[in-house]
Amino acid sequence: MRYKVKELAKISGVSVRTLHWYDEIGLLKPAYIGANGYRYYEQEQLLLLQQILFFRELDFKLDDVQQMITSCDFDKIKTLLAHKSNLQLNQDRMSKLIQTIDKTVVHLKGNKMINEHELYEGFDLAKQKEYEQYLVKHHGTIAEDLIAQCNKRTVSWGSQEWKEIKEEGASILQGLSVYIEKGAGPRDEEVQHLIQQHYKMIGRFYDLTKDIYLSLAQLYCEHPGFRKFFEEHSQQLPEFMAEAMRVYIYKDL
- Give whichever of 4 and 139 is closer to DNA, judged by the CB atom: 4
39 binds DNA (CB under 7 A): yes
177 phi and psi, to 5 degrees?
-70, -30
Shortest spacing between CB 34 and DNA, in angstroms: 7
- Give whichever of 63 and 116 is closer to DNA, judged by the CB atom: 63
If you write DSSP's letter for every residue of the chain in order, what string do you get? --EEHHHHHHHHT--HHHHHHHHHTTSS--SEE-TTS-EEE-HHHHHHHHHHHHHHHTT--HHHHHHHHHS-HHHHHHHHHHHHHHHHHHHHHHHHHHHHHHHHHHHHHHHHT--HHHHHGGG-HHHHHHHHHHHHHHHHHHHHHHHHHHHHHHTT--HHHHHHHHHHHHHHHHHHHHHHHTT--TTSHHHHHHHHHHHHHHTTTS---HHHHHHHHHHHHH-HHHHHHHHTT-TTHHHHHHHHHHHHHHTT-
Shortest spacing between CB 147 and its own copies, in angstroms: 30
- Give whichever of 132 and 168 is closer to its own copies, judged by the CB atom: 168
- Give whichever of 55 and 226 is closer to its own copies, judged by the CB atom: 55
Residue 18 binds which one of its own copies, DNA, none, with CB within 5 to 8 A depending on kind? DNA
Give the per-residue contact string, 217-246, with DNA (x = CB under 7 A; - = no).
------------------------------
Q: Encode 5-32: b = buried (16+ Cβ within 10 Å), e = exposed.
A: beebbeebebeeebbeebbeeebbebee
One residue of 11, 13, 17, 181 binding DNA per CB under 7 A: 17
- Give whichever of 3 and 213 is closer to DNA, judged by the CB atom: 3
Residue ranges in contact with its own copies by CB under 8 A: 57-59, 73-74, 76-91, 94-95, 97-98, 100-102, 104-105, 108-109, 111-112, 114, 171, 174-175, 177-179, 189-190, 193-194, 197
Residue 6 binds which one of DNA, its own copies, none, with CB within 5 to 8 A depending on kind? DNA
Shortest spacing between CB 182 and DNA, in angstroms: 12
21 binds DNA (CB under 7 A): yes
Binding site for DNA (CB under 7 A): 4-7, 14-18, 20-22, 34-39, 56, 61-63
